[in-house]
Every structure is written in structure tokens, then in C-alpha cells.
Amino acid sequence: MIAAGIDIGSTGTKAVLFDGAIRATAVVPTGWDPAGAGVAAFRQALDAAGIAEGAVGRVVGTGYGRVSLPLFDKKVTEITCHARGAHFLHPETRTVLDIGGQDSKVISVDAEGKVVEFAMNDKCAAGTGRFLQVMAGVLGVSLEELGSISAGAEPVRISSMCAVFAESEIIGLLAKGVDKGRIAAGVFQSIASRMQGLAGKVSVSGGITFSGGVALNPAICRAIGSGLGAEVLVPAAPQLVGALGAALVGFEA
């Protein structure tokens, strides 16, 4: 059986086709139309695999846009999906860190990849992908550049967790002539300490896997690893972990 997992996030929409192994993947921007993005990602993955829609046995949706698609046979939260996806890629995973576009979470999982407990950020953009985007915007660089300019720089301390307050703080630092690279490193440090705080709410143990689009940035991965004092496993395509988990739920159903 071929199962599809579609993860409609606030920023990106991801699709994975799975038939015992990953057959194809796709990533498209969510934009203003989550339903359209879900269909587009699904079609793109089908094209990449060279199979027809009818060949797919089950379609499982996840992500904040999961409510908006009639295509789905089943809907599962991103918490369950990230746990399943991360456990499939790294079976030693007992803790999943996920930073998405508008939220971040820490999930503790058992030996079978089942969720034991989890914690999520409160209603605010602190420590999320959106926080990074806003800060990159203030510094006038792209997200990729944010990582490269931070390389080797001594992080400056950014005390505001709130995206709005941190923005003013950074404007203040720029006015004082602080180097952009140091500010970028400070932004990563700030996200890492936010994740550390969140991790304190659940029992963190065993292998730690970092999923979500933000994990594409090596500087953040390093900051989080050193913050937690542990090695952090980063999948080759961390942004696809949720969609993979959804496909696994469909495949095993």
C-alpha cells in the first residue's frame, strides 16, 4: 500500500509518499491558501514518484491546516506525527524537539515512538521560525545568511523572548554599532535557551532528534545542542518529519 502524509504548516506545506520506504517528497510554500498548498504538495509528490492519485491507499493530514482538506482520510496532530517520523528515522529517539513556523514543542516518546508527554510554547511567537524571520528581516539578511554571518561570532545577549520586544532590542543594538554576526549568534542563543526552558517541562532523555524547518540551520542546531549539553540528531530533511509521521500513521492503519 502507498500512504501519503501531508503536513500543512503555517509557513511550508510538505508531502511524503511512503510504501515501506519513502517514495517521494515535496515542499511548497503555504501562502494564503492552506488547502491549495496541500493539494499542490500532494500532486508534486505524485509527479515525482510517477504514480496516479488513485494508487494512494490512504492520505493522512497534519499541521495547522489539516482541518481544511477534504482529500484527507484521517487527520492527526503534528505532535503525534513528529514523534512517529522522528522515531522512524532515528529509532533511538526519546525526545523530539520541533521548531515550526509558529510554534515550538518538546515531545517525549517511548521505545515504540508513542507520545508520553509534550510541552508547547505559549500563545506567542517566542522561539519559533517566525521569531527568526522577524530578526533576519531587521538585520536585512535572508534566513540562510543569518546562519552564515553568525559563524564564529561571539553571541551578544538578547534578553527579550518576545518577537516584538526583541525587534526593538536589536534595532537598539544596531544603533550602537554592534556587529550583525554577533546579533545573529545572539538570536540563535535566545532560541536555544527558549527551547531549554521548554525542555525542562518534560522528562528529556535518550536520543534527542531536532525536527522542523528551523533545524535546516546548522548554527541553531549547534546552539541547541550546547544549550542542552547533549548531542542533537538532525534528520537529512528535518522539515519533512511531520509529513513522514503522517504517512506512517496512514501506512500502519
Residues lying near another protein in the complex (CB under 8 A) are found at: 64, 76-80, 103, 114-118, 120, 122-123
Select 47 or 117, whichever has its Cβ closest to another protein: 117
**105: helix, coil or strand?**
strand
CA distance linking residue 66 with residue 72, whole number of Å: 8
Taking the CA of residue 196 as centre, how many other CA atoms within 13 Å lie in the half-sphere pointing to its CB? Answer: 17
Give residue for cell 542542552. Answer: 228
Q: Identify the bridge partners of residue 28 per DSSP, sorted by sequence position.
A: 13
Distance of closest approach, residue 203 Cβ to another protein, in angstroms: 9
Task: Give the distance from CA 94 to its chain's centroid.
Answer: 17
Select 123 or 176, whichever has its Cβ closest to another protein: 123
Distance of closest approach, residue 38 Cβ to another protein, in angstroms: 17
Distance of closest approach, residue 18 Cβ to another protein, in angstroms: 19
Select 122 or 154, whichever has its Cβ closest to another protein: 122
Q: How far is CA 104 from CA 10, 99, 120, 170, 251, in A?
A: 12, 4, 6, 22, 26
Select 111 or 116, whichever has its Cβ closest to another protein: 116
Distance of closest approach, residue 89 Cβ to another protein, in angstroms: 19
